[in-house]
Chains A and B, each alone.
Chain A
Amino acid sequence: MADLTVSLGRLKLKNPITVASGTFGFGREYASYYSLSELGAVITSAVTLEKRVGNKPPRLAETPAGILNSIGLENPGVEHFLQEDLPYLQRSGATVIVNIAGRTVEEYRAVAERLSQAEGIAALEVNISCPNVKEGGITFGTEPQMAQRVTASVREVWPGPLIVKLSPNVTDIALLARAVVEAGAEILSLINTITGMAIDPETWQPKLGNIVGGLSGPAIKPVAVRMVWQVAQAVDVPIIGMGGIVAVEDVVEFLLAGATAVSVGTGNFRQPTLARDLVGELDEYLTTHQLTTVQQLIGQVGKGGDRWRTCV
């Protein structure tokens, strides 16, 4: 068996396979398929300060090799999470990474502060792909200064490993990556969903109740791999890569691009055992390629000089 352990700075994982926020609930639904302790980590659905009912249905529309969703961060709020969900996850033996979201900088900070009082959280992942209601609804994650402010204020109250999850809906992902690292992010995760839209040609109505939603699944993988690779060139912190992982080859691709760990999201919907299966398949991949550690794959696709800056 190959050595699957990875270190993302202070955050040590038994293997690089995690499950992506919002696609795995708080673990309960998948725990009947396998033990959550088999995963590198469980990244929870977004936790917000108050309970959120989420967006108006319909919330899903399938697109070629992908899905659009507009769930709207439906979750029971941080107090419920601490009372019911975190204890459950701890009993399951999972390494728990909590994804947090908010509508204002103060909300992000308050959730992080509340979570810092709890035991057994391996890391926080800050979802900055949310509109800032105080500042005209601009998404935190698309504006470097706002992204920095959220990161810095969470950093002040959360002493543990801090992951900031980047939005792909930007012109220059490296710019955002540098900004949040400067503000205290120790690990970056990417990509969140790509904003998209689908219209029913018969009814002339948007397919989502929310009109626009986030695209995920294999359709977005090339964009995600490119962004992971670019960010790996731009900053020195470890990366959790995600976007369209459905097979072990996809995991390998993200690792080669520079990710130290990966998250499986939409793929869970198709095959509930996928993330667990990928742990074994990654081990097999390493063995058949005569490698002994995951480390030997990480970032093997290097800078490529200036070739990539030309027109395509």
Chain B
Amino acid sequence: MPEIAKIIQNKALGGNLYRLVLESQSLQKAVPGQFVHFLVQSQAEPPTWDPLLRRPLSVYDLEEEKASFLYRIVGRGTKQLANRRPGEKIDLLGPLGRGFQITQDPALLIGGGVGAAPLLFLAHKLKEKQQKFVVLLGARTAQELAHAGDFAKYTQDLFLVTEDGSVGRRGLVTDFVPEVAAQFKVRPKLYACGPNPMLASLAAFAKEAALPLDVSLEAAMACGVGACFGCACQLKDGSMARVCADGPVFPYEVLDWGEKNG
């Protein structure tokens, strides 16, 4: 059922990034990699039908009654979301989709930009399970890594990469994956979320290095529940999968990394 949840925090972190914290009953059962479909408009005013659709956001973390989200303003929907104030209500649907397949392997978490969102919750779970994991986060600039501090709560094995070198190493996050992966004593499983070119590059690496890799995909969504086939992505066997219901997390080897998903 859709839930009308209370906003506890909706805070600008810098670099157009925001952290949204809610008090929610229905999200208690969420697992890392699942997402929530939000109506971004004010619940206090009569509905407007623009933007019409909900907006999907990954669960960033879950602590007791509190579910948090990390989002970046990219258009009119996320802009309206940033206008919501603590104390207001928000209409949400979720948790939706299938999350990461957490294995016993040591883990390497790789986040590009705001794609880091589902990885914090994963880091939280891995810490609870006392599993070894390393987090590698990349962004264009230090500002766009405003979420790095949240990860420091769960691990000291945190590598930062920026394209302009303003914090951490300079380059693309994918440039450093082979090096970091090689430091594991036991072969790691990779978990990644970020822009498609980054995921495609990781898929090529995972294949070459014969490492398991789960990727969390993005696609424009309408229903978010698997009914409309609007969020389709191409699978290697020629069929289609629904990012919202069959994903958003997929083992990389089932996906077609050709032009169709790019």
Which residues of chain A have a CB within 8 Å of any CB of chain B? 22-25, 28-30, 33, 45, 53-54, 56-62, 64-67, 69, 71, 74, 209, 217-218, 246-247, 266, 268-273
**Chain B's interface: helix, strand, loop or mixed, by majority?**
loop
When C-beta atoms are compared, the residue in chain A nearest to B54 turns out to be A270
Q: Which of B2, B47, B228 contacts A269 (CB 8 A)?
A: B228
Which residues of the partner chain A approach B53 to less than 8 Å between Cβ atoms? 62, 67, 269-270
> Secondary structure at chain A's binding surface: helix, strand, loop or mixed?
loop
| B23-78 interface with A by 8 A CB criterion | 39, 47, 49-54
- Report Cα–Cα, A183/B52, bound state, in Å: 38
Closest residue of A by beta carbon distance from B222:
A269
Q: Nearest Cβ in chain A — how far from B169, in angstroms?
A: 29
Complex Cα distance A209/B219, Å?
12
Smallest CB separation, A186 vs chain B (Å): 28
Interchain CB contact under 8 A, B227 and A30 = yes
| Residue of A30, A74, A270, A271 contacting most chain B CB atoms (<10 Å) | A270
What residues of chain B have their CB less than 8 Å away from a CB belonging to chain A? 1-2, 39, 47, 49-54, 93, 219-234, 238-240, 245, 260-261
Residues of B near A273 (CB, < 8 A) are: 1-2
Give Cα A242–Cα B251 distance, bound, in whole angstroms.
Answer: 40
Specify which chain A residues have a CB less than 8 angstroms from the CB of B232 in the assembled complex: 54, 57, 59, 71, 74
Task: Decide: B238 and A60 in contact? CB cutoff 8 A.
Answer: no
Contact partner of A62 (CB less than 8 A), chosen from B51, B223, B261, is B51
Residues of the A chain whose Cβ atoms lie less than 8 Å from the Cβ of B2: 271-273
Contact B240 A54 (CB under 8 A): yes
Q: How far is the CA of A92 from the CA of B14 in the complex (A)?
A: 49
Specify which of A57, A61, A268 is in contact with B223 (CB 8 Å cutoff).
A268
Query: A25 to B227, Cβ gap below 8 A?
Result: yes
Q: How far is the CA of A22 from the CA of B54 in the complex (A)?
A: 18
Known A54-B229, A69-B230, A270-B39: A60·B240 in contact at CB below 8 Å = no
Pick the most buried of B53, B233, B239: most chain A CB atoms within 10 A of its CB. B53
Find chain B residues with CB under 8 A from A23 CB.
223, 227-228
CB distance from B85 to the nearest CB of A (A): 22
* In the complex, chain A residues whose CB is within 8 Å of the CB of B223: 23, 29, 268-269, 272
C-alpha spacing A67/B53, complex, angstroms: 8
> A24 to nearest B CB, angstroms?
6
Contact of B229 among A59, A218, A268 (CB under 8 A): A59
Measured CB to CB, the closest approach of chain B to A165, in angstroms, equals: 17
With a CB–CB cut-off of 8 A, which chain A residues contact B226? Answer: 25, 28-29
Known: A29-B245, A30-B225. A266 touches B230 (CB 8 A): no
Decide if A217 touches B52 in the complex (CB within 8 Å). yes
B residues near A71, Cβ cutoff 8 Å: 228-230, 232
